[in-house]
Amino acid sequence: MTAIKPTPYAALAQAKTSANALRYPHPPEKKPVAANETAFIWGDPHIAGADGDRFDVNKVGKFNLLEDKGVKFNADFRKFTDKSAATIIRATDLEVDGKKIKIDVNAKVTIDGKELQSNTYKAWGGDNQISKLRNGNVLIDTGEYTILVASEGSAKNKFLNASVSSGKHGVSADGVAPKGLLGETFDADAVKQTKPKKNLESYQVGVKPAAPKPSTPKPTTPTTPKPTTPKPTTPKPSTPKPATPDIKSWFDQFVALLKQLFGNFGK
- The string of DSSP letters for 114-138 reads EEEPTTEEEEETTTEEEEE-TTS-E
* Per-position b or e across 77-112, b if 16+ CB within 10 A of its CB: beebeeeeeebbbbbbbbebeeeebebbbebebebe
What pLDDT, on a 0 to 100 scale, did the predictor assign at position 246? 58
pLDDT at 190: 80
pLDDT attached to residue 84: 83
For the segment 227-259, what is each residue's pLDDT rounded down to a tens digit?
676 676 666 666 655 555 555 565 676 566 666
User: Which pLDDT tens digit goes with each residue over 41-59?
Assistant: 999 999 999 999 999 998 9
Look up residue 224 and give its amino acid. Answer: T
- CB-based burial, 36-51: b 16+ in 10 Å, e otherwise: ebbbbbbbbbebbbbb
Report the candidate in 126, 127, 125, 93 with the shortest Cα–Cα distance to residue 111.
93
How far is 42 from 56, CA to CA, in rounded Å?
A: 10
Residue ranges of the chain whose pLDDT lies below 70: 1-29, 209-217, 219, 222, 224-225, 227, 229-230, 232-251, 253-267
Q: Are the CB atoms for 180 and 73 separated by under 8 Å?
A: yes
Total-model pTM: 0.69
CA distance 61 to 201: 10
Amino acid 184: pLDDT: 95
Phi, psi (degrees; rounded to nearest 5) at 90: -95, -25
Q: How far apart are CA 159 and CA 197, in angstroms?
A: 25
Are the beta carbons of 88 and 111 closer than 8 angstroms?
Answer: no
Burial code (b: 16+ CB inside 10 Å, e: under 16) for 224-250 equals: eeeeeeeeeeeeeeeeeeeeeeeeeee
